[in-house]
Amino acid sequence: MTSSINPRAGLLVASLWLTAPLAFAATDAPTLPPHFAGSALDEAPTALTADWWTAYASDELSTLLAAGARDNLDIQAAIARLQAASARARAAHASVLPTVDAGLGATHYAGHSNAGTAQETDAGVLLSASYELDFFGKNRAIADSAGAQAAVSRAERDTVVLATQAALAAGYFTVVSLRERLHWAEVDLTTAQRILTLVEARHAAQAVGDAELANERNRVAAATLTVVDLTAQEAVARESLAVLAGRDPEGFGVTATDLGGLQLPSVVPDLPATLLQRRPDIQAAERALAAGHADVAVARAALFPSIALTAAGGVQNPAVQAAVTTLTGTGASLTLGAQLLQSVFDGGRRRALRAEAEARESELLVQYRAVIRNALLDVETALSARQALRTAAAAQHDTLEQSQRALAVAQARYQAGIGDALNVLEAERAVNAARSQQTAYRLDGLLNTVSLAKALGGGWQAAVPHPSAELTSGTRP
């Protein structure tokens, strides 16, 4: 018993094999934990919005973020890249449509021989069209790849925007904290100078030795260096903030002088699975993987024939000018054509290109899964740091309270005539150091909320439904 295969059926099977989506293996899906280890299960998740920085209740910060969104050069470059990718996607989509051309031409022929002299003018006005039958899905896959790459550029632009927002917020908090620390450093310098004055007077009265005097002079020098160092740090941080905001460093200023007027928002993450739709870098990696899948389809289709149809019609002279028949005179003309082209030998080039595309797709899969893991790590790192900061901030608060209590006791003893002014000044110095340390911990807390907001996507939402964890590695026949 013999069987025959219908050629049309064979072509149909090949077409379906080429254009069918990848079948993703469940074993390759990224494994997401049910919840973040550093998040309390009884805490309600924070619904971050696209203007998450408004939770800090700073009009100046909001103005900086608006300026950065408009004038930051990195964002402008990302927008330009997106525009270029969108244009490429439109150009690639045009390949699935017919092309139509209009032409007007004239050619004059003249010659002389022993047989005599002859001349002729051929002219025509023609409208021509050509179309490549996308039977194996090559053109559609090219368009899909370009569209996915445009989506990658869109997500990368949003990633740049989010990173710039976080950098602006962190830079602003840093500048303000440096100003506050500089204030307390100047107060500490004044206190050190007052203590030195008392010690010098006692040294002149031979009440203290040279070692005590040298020690206090060293403290004044150290306090002076602290003021100089913080002044320089504030200038550098302020100038860097200006560049992030799209401004020139010269003349750029910040009005806030302390962190006391800022709110410390509570940022609680949702389930880890929600990161897939709330992180633009994950969306960029997923779309890059989709582009890689489309590139594999293009490479597969290149193994099969290309079929092209052509047509041209209009008015020309001669009306028919074919290889065998020529119809002289001006008249209507119609030309129809079809071509099937199949590469017979290319030294294995097309199969090598397919293998390259498949390897690239595998690489993109690994990168996609790595981006998800790094996103989880970003959140866990921020949560761990938050817990450590809470413990340290509580201990620092106790330190400030105790130093303030010691200062109050020293002042009461001095006013009662049983204490020493030097003890009061030493207690003031301890309070100044505790306040400066408190500013540093307050800055760390603000920076932690910025890091956590950024790690959670900053209120970003995917523009299209996300394929979630099922988008992993493909199995092929």
User: How buried is residue 126: exposed, middle or buried, by Cβ count under 10 Å (0-12/13-18/19+)?
Assistant: middle
Provide the strand spans (E) within 87-232.
99-113, 116-133
| Rounded CA separation 437/399 (Å) | 10
10 in any annotated domain? no
Residue 127: strand pairing partners: 102, 313
Contacts of 59 (CB under 8 A, 6+ apart): none
Q: Where are the beta strands (DSSP E) in 51-162?
A: 99-113, 116-133
Confirm whether 391 is domain-assigned. Answer: yes
* Residue 463 pLDDT: 62
> Does residue 112 belong to any structural domain of this protein?
no
Domain-embedded: residue 9: no
Q: Domain range for residue 339?
A: 23-104+121-475
From first to last of its 477 residues, what are the pLDDT tens digits of the chain?
A: 444 434 444 444 444 444 444 434 333 456 788 888 877 766 788 888 899 999 999 999 999 999 999 999 999 999 999 999 999 999 998 888 889 999 898 888 888 888 888 888 888 888 888 988 888 888 899 999 999 999 999 999 999 999 999 999 999 999 999 999 999 999 989 988 988 898 898 889 888 788 888 988 998 999 999 999 999 999 999 999 999 999 999 989 899 999 989 999 988 888 888 888 899 999 999 999 999 999 999 999 888 898 898 988 888 877 677 655 667 777 888 888 888 888 888 889 889 999 999 999 999 999 999 999 999 999 999 999 988 888 888 888 888 889 889 888 888 887 777 877 888 888 888 888 888 889 999 999 999 999 999 999 999 987 644 333 333 333 333
Residue 196 located in a structural domain: yes
- The CATH number of the domain holding residue 224 is 1.20.1600.10
**pLDDT score of 323:** 53
Q: What is the pLDDT of residue 6?
A: 47
220, 192 contact by CB (below 8 A): yes
Residue 461 placed within a domain: yes
Give domain status of residue 146, yes or no: yes
Confidence (pLDDT) at 324: 58
Which pLDDT value is given to residue 34?
85
The Cα 181–Cα 189 span in angstroms is: 12
Instruction: For tokens 């390897």, name the residue.
Output: 359
Which helix (H) or strand (E) covers residue 85, if one does?
A: helix 73-93
Say if 328 falls within a structural domain. yes
pLDDT of residue 470: 34
Q: 7-44: buried (b, 16+ CB within 10 Å) or exposed (e) per residue?
A: eeeeeeebbeebbeebebeeeeebebeeebebbeeeee
When divided into structural domains, the chain yields a total of 1
pLDDT at 207: 84
pTM over 0.85: no
* Res 404: pLDDT: 87
